[in-house]
């Protein structure tokens, strides 16, 4: 098959992989499909926390493996984890060609392509910026040694997250808040602070699934708050030390963590280089002397301003959502990728 046909099939595999968002940690999202000798799709699969995508596609396949090709968004793993190596399943299937988009950077699981070639399988990589972008959470975790951290902020035109008297419900509209719930569907955990919990009594749940809720801070909290209901797991880390928070996140293996908190905790994470993305929901309003969403960033001059990488704007019934990446080496490889 020609390069354009291979890319089109990789695009389909990427679409499949997106069905696993929020369901796969500590593993990546992966999509897989198998084509017959005519290049037609005859089997598909995606990782959703159980068997890997290629294994699902192989289990659903009933054609002639010697005339078929397997397309993957990520190089097949080559190690024993929760399941056996996907390379061995591919070899045993009799498939004679494998095409993948992103090389596996995980030193524990890498080497899949080499193992398949050693078994006589034709293997090639078809690079895809989009495949890189959609798996940025897991790829960042492998690169940085921690989950990808996303700071969500709802604010007025003049940058306020609350009025002068502390009230904040609601700055943004229903459409924006509905989108936030969908964002939560795609994360593994949410970090908030005791101050936010006491002020807003939030549930921090999604529209279809509820991530783990992590409350940070030394203050004791009343057990009757919404954050302690049985809709999701809640962990109260009675600490102000960011290292302890990061240690917990690492132990749990989260890929993507949403930060929904006040300016003190959010700014501390940002100042320590722990924020990778910022989701800004901006309402067309002005709050004047309201509370800003950043503090203590030690910026006194225009030359000290912090530039971010623009990932685009969405509109929600008058509100604007802006997605920004922090400017670092890890993020620059995702910026040119299409959303």
> What is the C-alpha separation between 53 and 180, in angstroms, rounded?
28
Q: Which of 134, 158, 179 is the last residue of a domain?
A: 134
CATH number at residue 283: 3.40.430.10
Reply yes or no on whether 54 is catalytic. yes
Give the separation between CA 308 and CA 150, rounded to whole angstroms: 13
Looking at the structure, do residues 84 and 219 belong to the same domain, yes or no? no
Strand partners, 70: 34, 98
Which tokens is 299 given? 């910026």
Q: Give yes or no: residues 250 and 198 share one domain.
A: yes
Last residue of a domain, one of 116, 134, 152: 134
Domain endpoint, select from 83, 108, 134: 134
The model's pTM: 0.91
Same domain, 130 and 147: no
Output the pLDDT for position 50.
Answer: 86
Residues 65 and 176 in one domain: no
Give the total number of structural domains in the chain. Answer: 2
179 and 324 fall within a common domain: yes
Pairing mode, if any, of strands 97-102 and 69-74? parallel
Is residue 166 located within the same domain as residue 283?
yes
Say whether both 39 and 102 belong to one domain. yes
Q: Looking at the structure, tell me whether residues 312 and 182 fall in a common domain.
A: yes
Residues 124 and 180 in one domain: no
User: Do residue 165 and residue 310 come from a single domain?
Assistant: yes
Identify whether residues 111 and 147 lie together within a single domain. Answer: no
Residue 56's domain is classified under what CATH number? 3.40.140.10
Which pLDDT tens digits describe the chain residue by residue (339 residues)?
577 889 999 999 999 999 999 999 999 999 999 999 888 999 999 999 888 999 999 999 998 999 999 999 999 988 766 667 889 999 999 999 999 999 999 877 678 899 999 999 999 999 999 999 999 999 999 999 999 999 999 999 988 998 888 888 899 999 999 999 999 999 999 999 999 999 899 999 999 999 999 999 999 999 999 999 999 999 999 999 999 999 999 999 999 999 999 999 999 999 999 999 999 999 999 998 888 888 888 888 999 899 999 999 999 999 999 999 999 989 988 866 555
Q: Which of 54, 75, 260, 277 is catalytic?
A: 54
pLDDT of residue 336: 62
Quick one: 319 and 230 in the same domain?
yes
Domain extent at residue 61 = 3-134
């Amino acid at each position: 098959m020609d390069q354009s046909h291979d890319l089109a099939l990789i695009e389909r595999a990427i679409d499949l992989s997106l069905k696993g968002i929020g369901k796969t940690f500590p593993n990546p999202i992966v999509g897989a499909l198998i084509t017959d000798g005519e290049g037609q799709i005859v089997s598909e699969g995606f990782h959703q926390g159980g068997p890997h995508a290629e294994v699902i596609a192989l289990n659903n396949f009933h054609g002639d493996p010697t005339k078929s090709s397997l397309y993957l968004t990520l190089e097949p793993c080559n190690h024993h984890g929760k399941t056996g190596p996907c390379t061995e399943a591919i070899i045993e299937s009799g498939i004679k060609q494998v095409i993948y988009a992103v090389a596996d950077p995980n030193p524990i699981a890498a080497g899949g392509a080499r193992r398949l070639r050693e078994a006589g399988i034709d293997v090639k990589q078809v690079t895809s910026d989009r495949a890189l972008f959609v798996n940025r959470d897991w790829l960042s975790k492998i690169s940085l040694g921690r989950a990808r951290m996303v700071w969500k902020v709802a604010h007025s035109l003049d940058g306020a997250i609350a009025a002068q008297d502390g009230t904040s419900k609601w700055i943004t509209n229903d459409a924006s808040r509905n989108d936030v719930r969908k964002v939560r569907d795609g994360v593994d955990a949410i970090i908030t602070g005791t101050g936010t919990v006491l002020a807003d009594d939030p549930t921090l749940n999604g529209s279809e699934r509820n991530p783990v809720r992590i409350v940070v801070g030394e203050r004791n909290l009343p057990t009757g708050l919404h954050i302690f209901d049985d809709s999701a797991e809640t962990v109260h880390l009675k600490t102000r030390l960011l290292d302890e928070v990061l240690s917990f996140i690492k132990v749990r293996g989260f890929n993507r963590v949403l930060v929904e908190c006040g300016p003190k905790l959010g700014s501390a994470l940002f100042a320590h280089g722990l924020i990778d993305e910022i989701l800004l929901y901006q309402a067309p309003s002005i709050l004047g002397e309201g509370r800003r969403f950043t503090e203590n960033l030690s910026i006194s001059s225009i030359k000290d301003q912090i530039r971010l990488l623009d990932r685009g704007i969405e509109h929600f019934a008058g509100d604007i959502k802006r997605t920004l990446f922090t400017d670092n080496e890890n993020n620059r490889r995702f910026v040119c990728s299409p959303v």
